Amino acid sequence: QVQLVESGGGLVQAGGSLRLSCAASGRTFSSYAMGWFRQAPGKEREFVATINWSGGNTNYADSVKGRFTISRENGKNTVYLQMNSLKPEDTAVYYCAAQGSSWPWPSFKAHEYGYWGQGTQVTVSS
């Protein structure tokens, strides 16, 4: 079992940056691949980025590639999402999630993640 709590969201102008954090409870955090998803009003939840258990491999949605960076610190039970060059279309609630062990990495599908945080709002103004 792992519990996830996101933080770091807020309001930022287009072109700005934000860093999201996701703090995990439980001693098994380092065994989970982690992901970030987002959901805009009226839209389905979509994959943003994922990182494997060691942090040595990452994968990104095309829409954020080159602008966002996912990282993790297993000693702090935390995963991060650094978001640069933000655009209004990045506005959404951002969720971190822990991937279920039954699925191979990388996973881009929300149903393959077994644990979710409550989400943090990111709003990018034009």
Give every strand in the sheet of 78-83, ordered side by side.
Answer: 3-7, 18-25, 78-83, 68-73
Task: Specify the 3-state DSSP secondary structure of 36.
Answer: strand
**48: closest CA among 12, 6, 76, 14?**
6
Dihedral over alpha carbons 42, 124, 110, 35 (to 10 degrees):
-170
Q: How confident is the model at residue 32 (pLDDT cuts 50, 70, 90)?
A: very high
Question: Residue 20: what pLDDT?
Answer: 98
Q: Which residue has the higher pLDDT, 11 or 101?
A: 11
> CB of 86 within 8 A of CB of 107?
no
Q: What is the mean pLDDT of residues 34-53?
A: 97
Across-strand partners of 51?
34, 58
Distance between CA atoms of 74 and 119, rounded to whole angstroms? 21
For a pLDDT cut of 90, what percent of the chain falls above it? Answer: 89
Q: How confident is the model at residue 18 (pLDDT cuts 50, 70, 90)?
A: very high
Across-strand partners of 34?
51, 98
Q: How confident is the model at residue 112 (pLDDT cuts 50, 70, 90)?
A: very high
The per-residue pLDDT for range 54-83, each reduced to its tens digit, is: 999 999 999 999 999 999 999 999 999 999
Task: Specify the 3-state DSSP secondary structure of 106.
Answer: coil
**73: closest CA among 98, 53, 101?**
53
Q: What is the mean pLDDT of residues 3-19?
A: 98
Q: What is the mean pLDDT of residues 91-120?
A: 93
